[in-house]
Amino acid sequence: MTVGPGQFAVLSAAVFAIGIYGVLARRHPLGVAMAIGLLFAAPVIAMVGFTHAAPGPIATGDALAAFTVVAGSCVCSLGFALIVLLWRRTGRADIDELGDLEG
């Protein structure tokens, strides 16, 4: 029994769908940030699969995956900083209530 890029891609699709569910279902901003982290993790799985389970290893996929990991961490860090700022200013931790903010 062998593992090809297809299996990695299906796993990636499953993780991406779970992340989408988290972004839409969660109402706490920290939960949404975690779900966004899953959205970034999904293509990493796919790229690892295309690189290492394909005939002929090409590390370009690894390079793309590494940049994705860095970008995902940056986005989640900035998101967390914004969540902390909003919490301090409004004392609210509900995405729906944050949508009602007025300038």
User: What token pair was written down for 69?
Assistant: 């990991």
Q: Using CB under 8 A, pick the residue from 56, 99, 100, 103 that binds other proteins.
A: 56
Count residues contacting other proteins (CB under 8 A)?
74
DSSP notation for the chain: ----HHHHHHHHHHHHHHHHHHHHH--SHHHHHHHHHHHHHHHHHHHHHHHHSSSS--THHHHHHHHHHHHHHHHHHHHHHHHHHHHHHH----HHHHTT---
- Specify the residue, 58 or 101, whose C-beta has the smaller distance to other proteins: 58
Residue 36 binds other proteins, judged by CB under 8 A: no
How near is the Cβ of 73 to other proteins at its closest, in Å? 5
Q: Is 101 in the site for other proteins (CB under 8 A)?
A: no
Q: Contacts with other proteins in 63-82 (CB under 8 A)?
A: 63, 65-67, 69-74, 76-78, 80-82
**Contact with other proteins (CB under 8 A): which of 43, 59, 98, 103?**
59
